[in-house]
């Protein structure tokens, strides 16, 4: 059974390394409203566009989503 995007994203957290996806994961960890049960690109993308102030660019989400899909194949 495939993990949710949030479950996968939490495996990317790292307070020491500061690449874009890890920074995204660290920010999402503190976001109480993040759609944690979602596996849907459009739902998560829409949420981040409206509420993801900690995300520097939506390109980072796109990169993370591709890594998520590769990891969950």
3-54 confidence digits (pLDDT tens): 999 999 999 999 888 899 999 999 999 999 999 999 999 999 999 999 999 9
Residue 73: what pLDDT? 87
Residue 17: what pLDDT? 83
Supply the pTM of this predicted model. 0.91
Cα 28 to Cα 1, 17, 33, 73: the distances in Å are: 22, 16, 9, 23
In the predicted structure, residue 1 carries a pLDDT above the cut 90: no
């Amino acid at each position: 059974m495939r993990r949710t995007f949030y479950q996968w994203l939490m495996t990317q957290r790292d307070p020491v390394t500061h690449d874009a996806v890890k920074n995204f994961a660290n920010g999402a960890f503190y976001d109480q409203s993040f759609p944690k049960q979602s596996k849907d690109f459009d739902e998560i993308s829409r949420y981040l566009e409206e509420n993801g102030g900690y995300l520097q660019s939506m390109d980072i989400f796109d990169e993370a989503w591709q890594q998520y899909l590769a990891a969950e194949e």
